[in-house]
Amino acid sequence: MSGVVTVFRALDDETRRVILDELAARDGQTLFEICSTLTTRHGLSSTRQAISQHLGVLEAAGLVVTEKRGRSKFHYFNPAPLAEIARRWPVGERTAE
Amino acid sequence: MSGVVTVFRALDDETRRVILDELAARDGQTLFEICSTLTTRHGLSSTRQAISQHLGVLEAAGLVVTEKRGRSKFHYFNPAPLAEIARRWPVGERTAE
DNA sequence: ACTATAGGCAAGTCCCCACTTGCCTATCAA
DNA sequence: TTGATAGGCAAGTGGGGACTTGCCTATAGT
């Protein structure tokens, strides 16, 4: 993962967005769990390595935090960086009309 | 501008984010105005064509709406698509207590 | 009409990103 | 210790995106 990974770049990929959806729905999944749920429940067919790299990007962006226990690594969704977007461009209640 | 431009892809570029900042600060600028303010106030040195393409991406993503009068084209920041992000991953939910 | 202004169009280049492929490390069970 | 499970590392490939370059269109002023 060369260089800084921004939240924006991390979100600019449908697979990563689905991963976030999946973690938001069921937090604390391992890599293999994510792989299987992505194929069965989301119709995506990506290899383990691809998903692993996606998780690396998400983690580098701070959108996913991990916890390693034994030979397993659990992934948790961290929505905090998303607040940065709302902070930069306050959407407010007054959208364009 | 091939295919669909998502909000995420539009935001995945620092120049485009600065353009949004600039429009949020001073709405309704033309292409040449944006070019000059970007160089003078933001230290960016991009050609007119580059900025034009960026504005095209932002417009395709719905983040910028335009209005053409005479030979000028005015650009307006539209934060509405940003609400989609907050809608997909509600940030404040789990910390709201 | 002529010229300058404001912007668009399209081909080409370069680089980054997603994904694959192959192999390696570490942990647990038998 | 052996084998299976869970995951990591790194080189290579293909395609898309940012940017340039050059030329074209349209409006406004004189």
Q: What is the pLDDT of residue A90?
A: 84
pLDDT over 70, % of chain A:
92
Please indicate whether, in this complex, the C-beta atoms of A12 and B12 are within 8 angstroms of each other: yes
A46 Cβ nearer than 7 Å to chain C strand: yes
Could you read off the pLDDT of A45-72 as tens digits, one per residue?
A: 899 999 999 999 999 999 999 999 999 9
Q: Does residue A95 lie within any of the structural domains? A: no
Please indicate whether, in this complex, the C-beta atoms of B83 and A91 are within 8 angstroms of each other: yes
Residues of B in contact with A25 (CB under 8 A): none
Q: Does residue B54 lie within any of the structural domains? A: yes
**Angstrom distance (rounded) from CA B87 to CA B56:** 25
Q: Does residue A35 lie within any of the structural domains? A: yes
Q: Does residue B94 lie within any of the structural domains? A: no
The one-digit pLDDT tens for each residue of chain A (97 residues) are: 667 999 999 999 999 999 999 999 999 999 999 999 999 999 998 999 999 999 999 999 999 999 999 999 999 999 999 998 989 998 765 544 4
Q: Does residue B80 sit in helix, strand or coil? A: coil
Q: Does residue A81 lie within any of the structural domains? A: yes
Mean pLDDT of B8-19: 98
| Residues of B (28-87) whose Cβ lies below 8 Å from A | 65, 76-80, 82-83, 85-86
- CA of residue A73 to C1' of nucleotide D16, angstroms: 32
Could you read off the pLDDT of B37-92 as tens digits, one per residue?
A: 999 999 998 999 999 999 999 999 999 999 999 999 999 999 999 998 989 998 76
Q: What is the pLDDT of residue A2?
A: 65
Q: Does residue B68 sit in helix, strand or coil? A: strand
CATH (domain of A77): 1.10.10.10
- Nearest residue to B12 (alpha-carbon basis) of A66, A14, A76: A14
* Exposure of A97 in the CB half-sphere (CA atoms within 13 A): 3
Enumerate the nucleotides of strand C whose atoms come under 7 Å of any protein CB.
5-10, 17-22, 26-28
**Angstrom distance (rounded) from CA A71 to CA A30:** 10
Length of chain B: 97
Please indicate whether, in this complex, the C-beta atoms of B83 and A95 are within 8 angstroms of each other: yes
| Beta carbons of B2 and B41 less than 8 angstroms apart | no
Q: Does residue A65 lie within any of the structural domains? A: yes
In chain A, positions 5-64 with C-beta closer than 7 Å to nucleic chain D are: 30-32, 48-49, 52, 55
Whole domain around residue A56: which residue ranges?
Answer: 7-88
Q: Does residue A27 lie within any of the structural domains? A: yes
Residue A54 burial by Cβ neighbours in a 10 Å radius (0-12, 13-18, 19+): buried
DSSP secondary structure letters along A36-97 = HHHHHHH-----HHHHHHHHHHHHHTTSEEEEEETTEEEEEE--TTHHHHHHHS---S----
CA-based nearest distance B49→chain A, Å: 23
Per the structure, how many domains does chain B have?
A: 1
Listed in sequence order, the DSSP H helices in B1-97 are: 7-11, 14-25, 31-42, 48-60, 82-88
Q: What single DSSP character describes residue A20?
A: H
Residue indicated by tokens 């937090």: A27
Q: Does residue B95 lie within any of the structural domains? A: no
Q: What is the pLDDT of residue A14?
A: 97
